[in-house]
Amino acid sequence: MGVGGARLSNRRHQPAHGQLAGLPSVLFDAVVLLLSEEAGAVLAKEAAAVDFVRHAFDHLKAIALSPGGQLVAQAAGIEPDKFVVGADDPKAYVRAASQRAWDREPLGAKSVFDALLN
């Protein structure tokens, strides 16, 4: 299977620059899952997509979800927090993406760094 890209609203083809199975979420500062519900239902059954989202969450990334993206996040077992926002709220996404979600770490940021240094 090849990497296809997307057809934009102006009918132009936007080539893809990677694929889920070969481009881990750790390479990105934040993630947006802008999917139709149909596409979300398909990707929620795709291990690479579910793992990508789960890893983005585990790596403390901000995540914006459309309704289809919510299906993938649910399949990944993600419980939304203040860094998981709706894709229809770009201002909330930019706020969330401007920092790491240290609240997801049981020890918090300071304790994680202290543990690494000691």
Work out the number of other CB atoms within 10 angstroms of the CB of residue 70. Answer: 20
Q: What is the pLDDT of residue 1?
A: 43
78-89 average pLDDT score: 95
Every domain of the chain and the residues it spans: 23-117
Whether 116 shows a pLDDT value over 80: the answer reads no
Whether 73 shows a pLDDT value over 90: the answer reads yes
Given a contact cutoff of 8 angstroms between Cβ atoms, the answer to whether 96 and 52 are in contact is no
Q: Which amino acid is at 50?
A: V
Q: What is the pTM of this model?
A: 0.81
C-alpha 93/C-alpha 63 separation (Å) is 7
Read off the tokens for 32: 């947006």
Whether 61 shows a pLDDT value over 50: the answer reads yes
Read off the tokens for 10: 């102006």
CATH of 23-117, one of 3.40.50.300, 3.90.700.10, 3.40.50.880, 3.40.50.40: 3.40.50.880
Read off the tokens for 74: 């649910």
C-alpha 44/C-alpha 52 separation (Å) is 11
**Per-residue DSSP letter, 26:** G
